[in-house]
Amino acid sequence: MRRIALLGMPNTGKSTFFNRLTGANARIGNWPGITVDLLSARILLGAEMVEIVDLPGLYDLHGFTEDEQVVRRFLLSNPVDLLCIILNATQIDQQLPLVLQLQRLGLKTLVVMNMADEAERLGIRFDTATLAAGLDCPVCLISAKYGRGFPEARKVLQQILSLNSPATTPAPRIDFAADEALVAAAEKLIARSVAIPRMLDFSLSERIDRFALHPVLGIPLFFFVLFLLFQGVYTLGGPLQDGVAWLLEQFRELILVHLHGVLPDWLYGLLVEGVYDGLGTVASFVPVIVLFFLGMALIEDSGYLPRIAFLMDALMARVGLDGRSFVMLLMGFGCNVPALMGTRVMRSRGLRLLSMLIIPFSLCSARLQVFVFLTTALFSPIQAPLVLFVLYTMSFLTALVTALLFKNRLSNSEPLLIELPPYRLPTFNQVLLRGWHEVHHFLSRATRFIVAGVVMIWLLTHLPTDVPAGSTETLAGMFGGWLEPVLRPIGIDQHMAVVLLFGFVAKEIVLGAMAVVYGLQGDALAQSMAQHMDWVQAFSFMLFTLVYTPCLSTVATLRSESKSTAFTGISIVWSLVLAWLLSFVFYQSARLLMG
């Protein structure tokens, strides 16, 4: 099978080009470091089946970050028929030396200059024929975001493959020319083929940055934007959530309830009261999750996140981190796993490990659905967004405190170098694709874990068969009884202790576990929770759920990325201890103040 490798510096639109070429859904964002592992897809190009590989961004082949090493290892160990090098056309002067460096590998090359629409607005003009002659390879000018020039680029890819025999060997190991020589050669070629105005007009981005990058107002503005996002999620998501819950309840009452006389009691309880109620409780929160991810997609794709990294760098440096660590925390809002993998862009091992230690405190989408449920059940519509905002703030604070305590053991001397791209308004399709990518990831994980989890919890709450279901004499009751002495000081009873136990496997199970443990779903479950817990217990439970041991997938990623069992163990123990201490201080203080 023929193979095309997509290469380029970070934030040049490689993943956008990859998605448009293959129909895949690689993650897209307007900040560097999105692709930190190999993405591949197979497509029919002409009469041949071709594998398209989207490699991580790199600045040169001498780099020492793990993603740059991934690129080198791939090129030196796999035959590649064509290097498709994606450039940001607005930064041609900075990126052309990479093309000259890659061409020394002796592989067939196509240069695709992306973001042609932005270059045109800035007044940059290209003589593509002269540029192609100087590079001795085809050059295409496109806008992957809008599809402009894309059909022509696809045809060129097909033509190059059809005119050349398949590659049989990887790229050779060679010594590269000095960087100064490459830069000088690139400057001469640019002088002949590119017309760049003396002053590039980034006036809109500059005007926005007067507020977004303000040394005093910038950080409060960011948290205000987050608060508006939460307010919008509750305002728009509430009616949608109620609608989905009503549909699920109608399906249960009109159809599933009639199975009670057909199926044996144990099977009906397992399928309806276990699997359906558990999945239904989670499914009712899908509209809220969708809205949250759509909002985050707008923030990420607009180019705002690199500004936040820049703003937070000084604060993060005080605790041994840098602005990229803060961006990875934000990335963890979706899922902790890709955020942990995103630390590969960091050269310093100390910085990587310290960043990986704090990322599991990010309030991921699985925790979000639990908090939305409890805040909706126990707090007013005005209070609920504020409570959720406080939990997100606690997520940041626990991460910063952890970094401060461990920074001397995991030291870092790597300076922050980050590009601030111009603000871009993402297309409607990009936002939908980004939202669908995250929701699909959440649902695929949730479905797997919840089905297995609720079946296990149903069995634990119904075994042995000769005792009342859900009583303290069941296996679940015994587990809860063992844990209750430890959790009672933080306001968590034995029923919720069982829920937390299964939350260690995956936080997606927590809501399903509540539905099974209490034998209720939807509004009935919410009303029951409001009767069994007051707001102090609820917030203590949410605080513990926010901080305590992450899910097994996150633990496994921690182990594989850190390559240290000891580090993974420290992370787990620390999160448990910190979760208990925070909940204890809050719960006991609140009870004392309430008299």
In order of 194, 381, 523, the CA distances from 377 in angstroms are 61, 10, 8
Contacts for 66 with CB less than 8 Å, ≥ 6 apart: 36, 344, 345
- Of 457 and 130, which is predicted with more confidence? 130
- Of 391 and 330, which is predicted with more confidence? 391
Closest C-alpha to 306, from 183, 432, 213 = 213
Contacts for 264 with CB less than 8 Å, ≥ 6 apart: none
Query: In order of start, what are the domains of the chain with their CATH numbers?
Result: 2-195 (3.40.50.300), 218-411+430-593 (no CATH)
Torsion, Cα 154 156 159 165, to 10 degrees, reads -100
* Integer Cα distance of 383 and 380 in angstroms: 5
CB count within 10 Å of CB 25 equals 18
- Percent of the residues in the chain that have a pLDDT greater than 90, as a whole number: 28
pTM beyond cutoff 0.85: no
Q: What's the pLDDT score for residue 25?
A: 59
230-276 pLDDT tens trace: 788 778 887 887 888 888 888 888 888 888 878 888 888 888 877 78
* Integer Cα distance of 85 and 87 in angstroms: 6
Closest C-alpha to 26, from 60, 52, 63 = 52
pLDDT mean over 177-204: 80
Closest C-alpha to 189, from 114, 93, 65, 107 = 93
- Indicate if the alpha-carbon torsion angle 450, 451, 456, 460 is positive or negative: positive
* Integer Cα distance of 278 and 271 in angstroms: 10
- Of 34 and 456, which is predicted with more confidence? 456
Whether the per-residue pLDDT at 41 is higher than 70: the answer is yes
Half-sphere exposure of 586 (CA within 13 A, CB side): 21
Angle between helices 349-358 and 565-593 (to 10 degrees): 40
Q: What's the pLDDT score for residue 394?
A: 94
Residue-averaged pLDDT of the chain: 83
130-180 pLDDT tens trace: 999 999 999 999 998 888 999 999 999 999 998 888 888 888 876 655 577
Secondary structure element (H or E) that encloses residue 341, with its range: helix 336-342
Q: Is 44 helix (H, G, I), strand (E, B) or coil?
A: strand
pLDDT-derived band of residue 30, with 50, 70 and 90 as boundaries? very low
Question: For residue 128, with 0-12 CB atoms within 10 Å meaning exposed, 13-18 middle and 19 or more buried, which class applies?
Answer: middle
Q: What's the pLDDT score for residue 75?
A: 87
* Integer Cα distance of 224 and 210 in angstroms: 16
